[in-house]
A and B are shown apart, each in its own frame.
Chain A
Amino acid sequence: MSADSAAAPLTLPNQGSGRRNMLERVVAAATFLLIVAFAATIDGFATTGNLGIILINSASLTVLSCGMAVVIISRGLDLSLIAQMVAGATIFGMLISGGVAAPLALLAAYLSMVAIGALNAWLIAYVEIPSMLATLASSMFIVGLFRFAVLRGEYLLLLPKSDPTVAFFAGRLLPFLPVPVALMLGTLMATWFLLNRTVAGRIIYAMGDNFQAARLSGLSVRVTAIVVYVFAAFTAITAGLIMASASGAVDFRTVTNGTLLFEVILVVVLGGIPLRGGRGGLRNIIVGVALIAVLRNGMTLMNVTTQTQDMLKGLILLAAIITDNYLNPRDAETDTAGDL
């Protein structure tokens, strides 16, 4: 119901995004309670050393979530994010193993990401294939291609741990600043800048809010789609470099078992970015990552198995959505088709 002049003296909060902000607050409060509970029960949780571990361990998840969040805000979905991540890391790993200079190898890896991102965007914005199907297809194709042509059917590509570039990505930029954390902060800033300060950012929100209106107003929705999916591809390769350098290997099973992709979507949704797009921002990403990172760290310290962790994550997603629905009951007036 539109509120008209009757309510003139009142200033309303943004009701449209109000439901989302609520979920964000619920999750932020839950994270805070978790931190308090873990700090009280687990020895060594509330230490600066452990904080550093949490940050390093959540770096690649945060970077991927930034890419996914931008795609989702534009009312898309990128299911090929993890495939791009391992593909980019593989290109980089093959090239440095083959003796190519590190800057060239990095350049080649990032340029191939531009190609993959632009291909996704072309399928979605020009051929007009729904983003979920286009990226599902490209994900399968990428994994197949790389395992066949590059890894000759293997799952694993080992990285030379002694290589200075690999060591750099696993090391520290400054005494108190590990490189993964620096890359994470850089990606967060880039995401904020893209969403809030650029023309493309304005159009991303417009596309997510009402794609037909954006198209009919003459906004350059196709060019913006390229920006969105290339940005996502950049976050994928960045996360890939962090992950591969830390473990010393590129493992294609991260794509085929699917949990990382779902975890990235979980972070975005828990943070309060609706899958229908148009809403949310950097704060939502941080809130979502914080919950998952704290949970993962605390449970690992308590020696909880990953299987139990997965079950808990599923339950937390349900609990967050149910709490949100309970705090903001929906009726026919406030319900919106496609809203989560």
Chain B
Amino acid sequence: MSTQPVIQLENATKTYGGIAALAGATFDLLPGEIHALVGENGAGKSTLCKLIAGVITPSEGHLRVDGEVVAFAAPKDASRRGISMVYQETSLVPQLTVAQNIVLGREAAFNSVRKVRNAARQVLQRLNFKVDPSQLAGSLSAAKRQMVEIARAVVNEARVIILDEPTAALTPEETDHLFDLMRSLKRSGVAMIFISHALEEALNHADRISVLRNGRMIQTGPASSFTRASLIRHMIGEDLAEQAPARPAANTRSTAVPVLQVENIRMGAMVNNMSFSIFPGEVTGIAGLIGSGRSEVAKVIMGHTKRNFSGGRIWLDGREVRYTLPAQAVADGIAYVSEDRKLDGFFETMGVAENIGLGWLAKFGRRSILAPRHRMRALADDWEKRLSIRRIGANQPVLHLSGGNQQKVVIAKSLSQEPRLVIFDEPTRGVDVGAIAEIRQIIRSIANNGAGVILISSYLPEILDLSDRILVAKSGTIAAEFSRADATAERILHAAVH
């Protein structure tokens, strides 16, 4: 029996202001198939998914559902045909309960709270989700929110579920659970598309993989026909030597005096008596699950969070400090590269030079009245070369750069302040494969040049490759410390979970 694809995309093109985000891509999805989409940031993965989900309409080409040409005007048209999309930024209503979110858009005119809750409970049980239907959606962890979104898709009798980077915010165990669920949905005939930056997930869990590059469909084939190396080659169009960045043979710790010492920091419910020291010339990795208080403690150190700060002491170079504003921390030589660059990292309407120049200005322009524009421009050009930031036009807003280049801009903005301590929070999240190695190299070289580096990352290989010392955070405290020699992925995970 020849199977009729549920979704066929024929020569689809989508342009934004003259730029093709998707250029003549052809794609098909078979019933009961798990199909992985891979490609660098900006390759057109999200655009392709949004075309299928009816969020956007193609500039050229068309979409067939069950062989029939359709034109979706809005996501609800797609959902009527059984197509649901689970977004990266989940689209639950935080003020409603899990149950209300699951039935959202399908409520009867008169709703009974109990009926809604029972219906939701049934679905959640069928999917083996341990989520309380009467909990507020806003109080759920990222993983649980995603589960609720999938449950909603199932309630909507979706035949096609599109998952946009579903594992980005999940722990390894939650990821396994998600793929188990996807396999069970597959058995009931649901077809799934998932976008992933973790190539192993695509190789291990997908039936077929499609590789996009620069808006074009480069290759589609059974997962077994690809290897990690061949995927990367298709994604970036060249061979990429993946290797751990060089680090000095001897320990670079120049002195025994820590650049930063933190003692018994407490903040709200997230940080609970956290203590650690950071030494110059070292990369100190902080591993841990999401919600273990790592970013929060970084924000307390920076003076970014002050409201719930409830105690603890911080020393910088042996001098006790207590910042109430990031500007004070920056003046003392601390820089923080945040985990969400779009939210609080870069200035989206400004160009590369302006972004880097503003970082420099924050530390070195405090006393001036006139903006030293030529100085800022020269400095930005210099950093652009040093970090090989690839931009299109001089005034191209940073928003339109690829994830890797955006991250390099944010890093350059911080490094232009010549910091003594740099805190990296998930530095390679949402960064294209090609730029990850470069960014790791940059992080390593900062420590090799004598500054202290804190590396907060949920990606264990990154922590293991880069760190001289590894701390494991667990529910707001440091649960374990490993030297580079003692650390293994298993031991870190064990410390983070148990």
Residues of A whose CB lies within 8 Å of any CB of B are 1-8, 10-18, 197-203, 205-206, 209-210, 212-222, 278-279, 331-334
Contacts and interface: CB of A to CB of B under 8 A. Distances in A.
Given A4-B41, A11-B393, A198-B369, A17 B349 contact: yes
Contacts of B357: 202
Given A12-B19, A333-B16, A209 B326 contact: no
B361 interface: yes
B251 to A, nearest CB: 31
Interface stretch (B64-72, B128-136, B308-316, B330-338): B330-338
B61 interface: no
Contacts of B399: 2, 16
B371 A201 contact: yes
A6 B214 CA distance: 5
B392 A10 contact: yes
B370 A4 contact: no
B327 A206 contact: no
B358 to A, nearest CB: 5
A7 B391 CA distance: 10
20 contacts: A3-B21, A3-B400, A4-B401, A4-B402, A6-B20, A6-B42, A12-B17, A15-B397, A199-B371, A201-B371, A202-B354, A212-B343, A213-B347, A216-B345, A217-B358, A217-B413, A218-B331, A218-B363, A278-B347, A333-B50
A2 B403 contact: yes
A199 B21 contact: no
A194 to B, nearest CB: 10
A4 B214 contact: yes
A6 B215 contact: yes
Nearest to A221: B327
B349 A3 contact: no
Considering residues B325, B338, B349, B401, which has the most beta carbons from chain A within 10 angstroms of its beta carbon? B349
Nearest to B391: A8
A333 B46 CA distance: 10
A205 B350 contact: yes
**Most chain A beta-carbon neighbours within 10 Å: one of B16, B362, B392:** B362
A1 B369 contact: no
Contacts of B23: 6
A7 B393 CA distance: 11
A217 B327 CA distance: 7
A157 B57 CA distance: 61
B359 interface: yes
Contacts of A201: 371
B304 A216 contact: yes
B16 A1 contact: yes
Contacts of A10: 18-19, 392
B252 interface: no
Contact of A209 (B21, B56, B57, B350): B350
Contact of A15 (B17, B42, B361): B17
Nearest to A219: B362
A143 to B, nearest CB: 33
Most buried by A among B23, B302, B348, B390: B348
Interface string B38-77: 0011111011001000011100000000000000000000
A265 B87 CA distance: 37
Nearest to A207: B347
Q: Which 10 A-B pairs have the closest CB atoms?
A: A218-B330, A6-B214, A4-B42, A212-B344, A16-B349, A218-B362, A209-B347, A1-B21, A3-B19, A4-B402
Contact of B400 (A15, A217, A221): A15
Given A216-B344, A217-B326, A278 B349 contact: yes
A12 B40 contact: no
A203 B56 CA distance: 35
A174 B359 CA distance: 45
B396 interface: yes
Given A216-B338, A217-B359, A220-B362, A1 B47 contact: yes
B370 A199 contact: yes
A10 B20 CA distance: 11
A162 B117 CA distance: 79
Of the listed residues A3, A14, A209, A222, the one surrounded by the most CB atoms of chain B closer than 10 A to its CB is A3
Contacts of B115: none
Contacts of A206: 347, 350, 358
Contacts of B424: none
Counting chain B CB atoms within 10 Å of each CB, the highest count among A17, A216, A219 belongs to: A216
Nearest to B410: A213
B330 A217 contact: yes
Q: Tell me which of A4, A6, A220, A334 has the highest count of chain B C-beta atoms within 10 A of its own C-beta.
A: A4
B369 to A, nearest CB: 6
A197 B370 contact: yes
Contacts of B432: 4
Nearest to A6: B214
Contacts of B56: 331-333
A200 B369 CA distance: 7
A210 B214 contact: no
A7 B392 contact: yes
Nearest to B338: A216
Given A8-B392, A217-B358, A222 B348 contact: no
B395 interface: yes
Contacts of A6: 19-20, 23, 42, 214-215
B366 interface: yes
Given A12-B19, A15-B17, A4 B371 contact: no
Interface in B1-55: 16-21, 23, 40-44, 46-47, 50, 55
Contact of A199 (B350, B359, B369, B406): B369
B79 to A, nearest CB: 14
Given A198-B370, A199-B369, A216 B336 contact: yes
A228 B215 CA distance: 44
A218 B349 contact: no
A1 B16 CA distance: 8
Contacts of B40: 4
Contacts of A210: 344, 346-348
Given A12-B18, A206-B358, A213-B346, A218 B326 contact: yes
Nearest to A217: B362
Contacts of B338: 216
Nearest to A9: B392
Given A198-B371, A199-B370, A209 B393 contact: no
B215 A218 contact: no
Contacts of B390: 5
A200 B302 CA distance: 23
